[in-house]
Amino acid sequence: MSENGILRVVARFLIPLIMLFGLYIQFHGEYSPGGGFQAGVVFAAGWILFALIYGLENALKVISQRAMYVLAAAGVLLYAAVGLLGVAMGGRYLDFYPLLESPHAAQQFGIITVEFGVGVTVATVVMLIYTMFARRKSEWEAILKEGDEP
């Protein structure tokens, strides 16, 4: 696909819009349908489109596989840390009210932080799944190519 000029031009236009829409979903998820999971999938779709058009190796230069592992773990840790912070401050797990003096502000802070952790985790895990399948395909193509040679 990287040789097709039309796809490259359309992708250059669409990828930033996809990422912007992912941000919209991420930060308006507590007010409307959406949130971390949906935003993570949209972000991953933008990155996968980049990988399909420009190649997996170029996409891994943007976000390396190692960075994906770190971000996936960091998202889960952020989710867990916010939940445990409520417990440490005298509440229950994922009880945001003890976090700040204003209950409304604490609820907003807690939801946004937890949803951000979910979004980062989902985006990086979907990107990792795509990366592993794409690499597996190239390995199989190499094996089949070797088998064709006498």
How far apart are alpha carbons 17 and 2 in whole angstroms? 20
What percent of the chain is modeled with pLDDT above 90? 53
pLDDT band of 94, cuts 50, 70, 90: confident
Q: How far apart are the first and last CA of the chain?
A: 30
Residue 70: Cβ within 10 Å count: 12
Q: Are 119 and 40 in contact (CB under 8 A)?
A: yes
The pLDDT of residue 16 is 95
Average model confidence (pLDDT) for the chain?
88
For 17-48, the pLDDT digits (tens) are 999 999 999 888 666 656 889 999 999 999 99
Residue entry with tokens 């980049």: 50
Q: Are 120 and 78 in contact (CB under 8 A)?
A: yes
For 45-89, the pLDDT digits (tens) are 999 999 999 999 999 999 999 999 999 999 999 999 999 998 998
How far apart are alpha carbons 146 and 7 in whole angstroms? 31
Q: Which domain holds residue 121?
A: 5-148
> pTM, whole model, 2 decimals?
0.83
Q: Are 34 and 58 in contact (CB under 8 A)?
A: no
| Overall domain count for the chain | 1
